[in-house]
Amino acid sequence: MRISAGATVRVLGMMFTATQLTLVAIAAVALAALHGLLRYTRLGKAMRATASDPELARNCGVQTRRVIDGAWLLSGLLCGLAGVALVTELGSFDSRRSSSSSRRSRRSSLPKPRRRPTRRT
């Protein structure tokens, strides 16, 4: 089944765009890969051992410094994937877009505060 980029799909009563469904699929694959890495590889076992007790892991021959560096690398890769997903969902990235315009749009969506009545004496 092929879905065009602008098409919407109804799933369980909710509407999703093709891009959103693609992002959900990518997230599911990333989650499965992370689970497989942590559960079934020597690196995953070393990561779990280092997180549990670094000194004991080091005494058992685990190079904890390398494992920690690998965890940071994995974290950076996942953050990069999240950034790609964000840009994909937004449609584009404009470095000239200022944060003040986004603040303005957030302010306009909030309800305006009520003014207190002034007392006349």
- Tokens 């994937």 locate to 81
Look at residue 99 in the predicted model and tell me its pLDDT.
53
pTM attached to this predicted model: 0.62
Task: Compute the Cα dihedral for 4, 7, 11, 15 and give only its sign.
Answer: positive
Look at residue 113 in the predicted model and tell me its pLDDT.
67
Structure tokens at 39: 């559960």
Low-confidence ranges of the chain (pLDDT < 70): 1-6, 92-113, 121
CA-CA-CA-CA torsion for 105, 84, 73, 43, nearest 10 degrees? 120
Look at residue 105 in the predicted model and tell me its pLDDT.
54
Look at residue 93 in the predicted model and tell me its pLDDT.
61
The CA-atom distances, in angstroms, between 35 and each of 31, 40, 43, 53 are 6, 8, 12, 21
The CA-atom distances, in angstroms, between 77 and each of 19, 30, 54, 81 are 21, 11, 23, 6
Look at residue 30 in the predicted model and tell me its pLDDT.
94
Is residue 22 within 8 Å of residue 7, measured between CB atoms? no
Among residues 41, 38, 39, which one has the least CA distance to residue 71?
38
Look at residue 95 in the predicted model and tell me its pLDDT.
64
Structure tokens at 64: 């904890």
